[in-house]
Amino acid sequence: MPKITIDSTEIEVEKGTTVIQAAEQIGIDIPRYCYHPGLSIVGVCRICLVEIERMPKLQVACYTPVADGMVVHTNNEKVQQARRAVLEFLLINHPLDCPVCDQAGECWLQNFYMQHGLYDSKMVEDKVKKQKALPIGPNVMLDSERCILCTRCVRFCDEITETHELGIFNRGDHTELLPYPGQELDNKYSGNTIDICPVGALTDKDFRFRTRVWYLTETPSVCPGCSTGCNINVHHNDHRPYKAGGIRVSRLKPRYNPDVNQWWMCDEGRYGFTQVDADSRIVAPQKKTRGDWQLLSWQDAIDEIATKIKGILKKHGADAFGVILSPQMTNEGLFAAKRFFQETLEVENIDFEVVAREKGYADDFLMKADKNPNSEGAKKIGLSAVDNSGLEVAQMLADAKDNRLKALYICHHNLEKGFKKEEVKEALSKVDLVIFQGTNQNSTSNLANYCLPSASFVEKDGTFTNFAGRVQEIHKAVEPLGESKPDWTIFRNLSKRLGKSMPYFEAGDVFNALAEEVDAFKGLSYEKIGEHGVLLNGHRASTEKEMGALVA
Amino acid sequence: MEFCKAAKTECDKIIAKYPEKRAAMLPVLYLAEKEFGHISPEVEKYVGKLLDVPPVKVHEVMTFYTLIAAKPRGKYHFQICRGLSCDLKGCVKIIDYLSEKLGLSSDETSDDLMYTFTPVECLAACETAPMMQLNEDYYGNLTKEKIDDILKENS
């Protein structure tokens, strides 16, 4: 393996490593715009120039492979002078409208200029004017004057989505990034171009002018939009909530996970978080009396529901009780539910799967047709009807219609997605006790007798198991809205009221109990999951071939 | 939109010269301009198909170079030099005169597709400044009278 010296530190690296990667290994961050580890290397921005001894000119660190005995200087006077010159060049036609630019605070032009800037411009020529605030697709806004022509977005559309919408047109200081005439930047992953844009040229229509990025806090999590479970950071506005009009979650950004989504996420997941702060959130326990919803305290709600459940079980037996859990719930919520319904209430009619009538969009990249983050977890925990020799959801509704089902506990589902509206309405109207537990109102919750408020995925800790059997953590970014609580807490409290307490105080306790009891999870612990998740027993990591387009 | 048989053979020959198809972009565009008169968006797409690249890559090359026509050009293409030598020899007046005579401003083509008027950078014939190129031929030491004669010959 070649041995090289970077800024007087000797390091041995794999053959074929580039200078920029070798420097990263010893914690030296060489400035870069066009270089991105997930894309091909083009060496066009020139900000990463370094001095390599015995080479006559400065070399681009991103494109130069290491060679044995190489001596590299990444920050001497000559290199700094070159960086100053590159920045001066990049800013010749830059509009310097940082005060109104969304990228301010996370802009690499600003960041590198702070370190290497020339400060006093030598240019007297007028700047070339280009198009500003040009919508180039459903999600992306282009400011051509801010663009430094690094081609990251062009290469993303060429190499990752292979949709080829973008190009670099014209020449000299009139060179401009634009979509192909007559075309829009409209693909299922277009938001990623905003993430990888190092400056303020591509900004997010959904985020522009909403908040300054330095007011945001990042919390690592997992996208609940489908069974892939892309790793994300939730960006939430903790510093100035009063400026955000009740919107606590500002945006979702993909978080690097080499085994799941690399650097990317789809637009459906990226913009699918609005229900978290929507008016439809259920914020307190409530019951319907004579057609009107009436708010309850948690204590009263638990008391009333426990009494009614006990009454029905006594009078009609466990066969008259149906439970519809949801793959939207975390492993912890599902496991606590399993213990509550199976052990405390001894109910067998438990199922979680409602097959959507409209098939979800899927591709061979990140998007899966199953729009639930935890179907695999629910299966492995044993919550399918077949596991419990109980009724399937469809059968529960049929039994309800025939007056054989007296109580139905429904978590999160909008049953209309799987069944006809009239069917659901008729079935539920014949059940004495319908309890709905979920984050938002929907047409099913409207048919219930009781509604219990669940915390949404940004308001709780827990884990999801993705389609490949990878268990990944979500984290609490903001406080549960109103009186809402994590699902596992609600089941724990109900169980205690009905005579069986569960010693769970946080999500980790539930997970560790689950790991002891369920075979697929044996040997795992909450502490072991880590930032990139762990595979369930019997699952193996995807090969490069299976990851397909993921591997650039 | 397709090359005739002869042009297709020519095109295949050009492509065969390069290690990858994409490298044949400029000569194939030149051939396409000769065949179709100019490179319309449809021709861009066709060239992309011939070279196995998305049309946006052809458009990048098309917008980079000024030498290949993106719009229809007139039967007579006047490319008049506005380089340094020609400027020193008073080409500004000649350019204005020709523009007025043709009734065309910079980069315009007459509605009857007879004339196209394009001021260009140096054509490397400074010894005859001020000069211009009409289709494939150079005309030097231009005066207003000479412009009149040339226009009479080519109309």
CATH of the domain at A366: 3.40.50.740
Q: Are A198 and A87 in contact (CB under 8 A)?
A: no
Given a cut of 90, is residue A11 above it in pLDDT?
Answer: yes
Q: What is the CA radius of gyration of chain B?
A: 18
Q: What is the pLDDT of residue A549?
A: 46
Which pLDDT belongs to residue A547?
A: 57
Q: What is the pLDDT of residue A551?
A: 42
> Is the domain of A15 the same as that of A104?
no
**Does B55 touch chain A if contact means CB atoms closer than 8 Å?**
yes
Beta-strand ranges (E) seen in A106-180 are: 134-135, 140-142, 166-169, 176-179
- Nearest residue of A to residue B58, measured between CA atoms: A167
* Interface touch B59/A180, C-beta < 8 Å: yes
Q: Tell me what the mean pLDDT of segment A397-410 comes to.
A: 95
**CATH number of the domain where residue A146 is located:** 3.30.70.20
B52/A contact by beta carbon, under 8 A: no
Superfamily of B76-153 according to CATH: Glutaredoxin (3.40.30.10)
Find out whether A127 and A96 touch, Cβ atoms under 8 Å.
no
Q: In chain A, which residue's Cα lies nearest the Cα of B57?
A: A167
Is A82 found in the same domain as A126? no
Encoded tokens for B75:
């039967």
Is pLDDT of A496 > 80? Answer: yes
Q: Is the pLDDT of residue A108 over 80?
A: yes
Residue B53 Cα, gap to closest chain A Cα (Å)? 9
Write out the H or E segment, with its range, that includes residue B148: helix B144-153
CB contact at 8 A, A398 and A352: no
The answer, yes or no, to whether the previous bond of B130 is cis (omega within 30 of 0) is: yes
In this prediction, residue A246 has a pLDDT band, given cuts at 50, 70 and 90, of confident
Model confidence pLDDT, tens digit, residues A158-203: 999 999 999 999 999 999 999 999 999 999 999 999 999 999 999 9
Residue A312: pLDDT band (50, 70, 90) is: very high
Both A173 and A38 in one domain: the answer is no
For residue B70, list chain A residues with Cβ-Cβ distance below 8 A. Answer: none
User: CA distances (Å), A193 to each of A142, A190, A292, B101, in order?
Assistant: 11, 6, 48, 50
Confidence of residue A550 (pLDDT cuts 50, 70, 90): very low
Taking residue B145's Cβ as centre, other Cβ atoms within 10 Å add up to 8
Q: What is the mean pLDDT of residues A223-227?
A: 97
Q: Do A370 and A513 fall within a single domain?
A: yes
Same-domain status, A85 and A107: no
**Cβ of residue B63 closer than 8 Å to a chain A Cβ:** yes
Q: Which of B41, B56, B65 minimises the CB distance to A167?
A: B56
Interface of A with B (CB under 8 A): 158, 164-171, 180-183
Over residues A26-39, the pLDDT tens digits come to 999 999 999 999 99
Among residues A34, A59, A90, the one where a domain terminates is: A90
Other C-beta atoms closer than 10 Å to the C-beta of A541 total: 12
Residue A501's DSSP bridge partners are none
**Do A57 and A142 sit in the same domain of this protein?**
no
Q: Are residues A365 and A399 in the same domain?
A: yes
DSSP summary character for residue A360: P
Give contacts of B 75-134 with A, CB under 8 A: none
State the Cα angle at A211 between A184 and A144, rounded to 5°: 35
CB A354 within 8 A of CB A417: yes
pLDDT of residue A370: 95
To the nearest whole number, what is the mean pLDDT of chain A?
Answer: 94
Give the H/E segment covering residue B81.
strand B76-81
**A277 within some domain:** no
Same domain, A494 and A541: yes
Residue A357 lies in a domain: yes
How many domains, chain A? 3
Q: Is residue A508 part of a domain?
A: yes
One-letter identity of residue B20: E
**Which member of B41, B59, B65 has the closest CB to residue A167?**
B59
Q: Which residue intervals of chain B bear CATH 1.10.10.1590?
A: 5-64
Whether A180 sits inside 8 A of B55 (CB atoms) is yes
Residue A279 falls inside a structural domain = no
Query: Is A408 inside a domain boundary?
Result: yes
Q: Which of A90, A112, A136 is the last residue of a domain?
A: A90
Q: For residue A169, give the nearest of B41, B55, B60 by CB distance.
A: B60
Report the alpha-carbon distance of residue A115 to residue A403 in Å, rounded.
74
- CATH 3.40.30.10 residue ranges of chain B are 76-153
pLDDT digits (tens, 9 = 90+) for A325-349: 999 999 999 999 999 999 999 999 9
Residue-level pLDDT at A542: 67
Residues 6+ away with beta carbon under 8 Å from A117: A84, A87
**3-state SS, residue A207:** coil
C-alpha separations of A44 from A63, A152, B53 in Å? 10, 10, 21
User: B57: which chain A residues are within 8 Å (Cβ-Cβ)?
Assistant: 164, 167
C-beta atoms surrounding A270 within 10 Å: 26
CA distance B48 to chain A (A): 12
Looking at residue A59, its pLDDT comes to 97
Rounded Cα–Cα distance for residues A169 and A20 (Å): 29
| Residue B108 DSSP SS3 | strand
Residue A283 pLDDT level (bands cut at 50, 70, 90)? very high
What is the structure's pLDDT at A117?
A: 83
pLDDT digits (tens, 9 = 90+) for A70-98: 999 999 999 999 999 999 999 999 998 99
How far is the C-alpha of A208 from the C-alpha of A140, rounded, in Å?
10
With a cut of 70, list the residues of chain B below it in pLDDT: none
> Which residues lie below 8 Å from residue A183, measured CB to CB, with a gap of 6+?
A165, B56
Q: Is residue A266 part of a domain?
A: no
Range with the lowest mean pLDDT among A109-118, A171-180, A484-493, B118-127?
A109-118
At A552 the pLDDT is 39
Other C-beta atoms closer than 10 Å to the C-beta of B10 total 17
Q: Which residue in A376, A368, A136 sits closest to A266, CA to CA?
A: A368
Whether A359 contacts A369, CB under 8 Å: yes
Say whether A167 and B57 touch across the interface (CB within 8 A). Answer: yes
pLDDT band at A544 (very low <50, low <70, confident <90, very high): low
A215, A193, A180: which is closest to B61 by C-alpha? A180
Record: contact A170-B54, CB cut-off 8 A = no
- Report which of residues A498 and A126 the model is more confident about: A498
How far is the first Cα of chain A from the last one, in angstroms, to the nearest whole number?
Answer: 25
What is the CATH code of the structural domain delimited by B5-64?
Answer: 1.10.10.1590
Domain extent at residue A339 = 286-548
Same-domain pairing of A31 and A108: no
Interchain pair A169, B57: CB under 8 A? no
A415 is a domain residue = yes
Which of A90, A109, A137 corresponds to the end of one domain?
A: A90
Q: Do the Cβ atoms of A470 and A535 come closer than 8 Å?
A: yes
- Cα distance from B129 to chain A (closest Cα, Å)? 27
Q: Is residue A394 part of a domain?
A: yes
